[in-house]
């Protein structure tokens, strides 16, 4: 879906790192911060209802979140076994340890599932910026940067004639607009 960058194209504007990652860690859309992206904890909506980002940006997109989930679960299990070995001087109650580790191995990946998805989406968006048209223009950093540049340009141009807020706005009528014909008035004596 990502379009190739051709010579002369403006470089893509990246999302801000800190807010994007905070949104990822708090189950929010990394682009716009919308919450409620999951049904019954594990069913993620296909698109963000606000900015319209399609979360599965490319085929195989979720391998990243699966990797995060696997690594965190494995490290947690390893830590659990290590702590048990240290605390019991290398003589842990094997059935208890096996029971606890099995429960953790089943429950933890499910608990982590939605977090790894939004975290991975944030990481992916920071490493592979949004392509044109991938989200609603109101949330596209490229569009926002262009608007800000345009506003700055207007402000600079308006410096000579006073404040930069002299935009005439849509209420200005053009003087050369045709007026309704007077002949339609009834019986003008």
Q: Is 34 in the site for Zn ion (CB under 5 A)?
A: yes
Question: Going residue by residue from 48 to 67, which x/- string records binding to Zn ion, judged by CB under 5 A?
Answer: x-xx----------------
**How many amino acids of this chain bind Zn ion (CB under 5 A)?**
7
Q: Is 32 in the site for Zn ion (CB under 5 A)?
A: yes
CB of 30 to Zn ion, least distance (A): 8
| CA contacts within 13 A on the Cβ side of 92 | 16
Among 23, 24, 28, 29, binds Zn ion (CB under 5 A): 29
- Which helix (H) or strand (E) covers residue 122, if one does? helix 94-127
Neighbours of 100 (CB within 10 A): 16
Q: How far apart are CA 38 and CA 15, in angstroms?
A: 23
**% helix, strand, coil for the chain, step of 5:** 50, 5, 45
Q: Residue 47 or residue 92: which is nearer to Zn ion going by CB?
A: 47
Q: Residue 32 or residue 66: which is nearer to Zn ion going by CB?
A: 32
Which residues contribute to the site for Zn ion (CB under 5 A)?
29, 31-32, 34, 48, 50-51
């Amino acid at each position: 879906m990502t379009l190739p960058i051709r010579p002369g194209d403006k470089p893509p504007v990246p999302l801000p790192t800190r807010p994007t990652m905070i949104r990822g860690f708090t189950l929010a859309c990394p682009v716009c911060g919308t919450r409620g992206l999951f049904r019954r904890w594990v069913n993620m909506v296909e698109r963000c209802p606000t900015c319209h980002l399609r979360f599965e940006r490319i085929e195989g997109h979720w391998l990243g979140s699966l990797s995060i989930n696997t690594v965190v679960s494995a490290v947690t299990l390893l830590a659990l076994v290590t702590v048990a070995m240290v605390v019991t001087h290398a003589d842990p109650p094997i059935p208890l340890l096996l029971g606890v580790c099995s429960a953790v191995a089943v429950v933890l990946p499910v608990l982590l599932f939605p977090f790894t998805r939004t975290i991975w989406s944030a990481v992916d968006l920071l490493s592979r910026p949004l392509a044109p048209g991938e989200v609603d223009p109101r949330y596209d950093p490229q569009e926002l940067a262009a608007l800000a540049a345009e506003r700055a340009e207007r402000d600079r141009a308006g410096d000579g004639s006073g404040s930069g807020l002299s935009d005439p706005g849509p209420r200005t009528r053009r003087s050369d607009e045709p007026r309704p014909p007077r002949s339609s008035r009834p019986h003008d004596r």
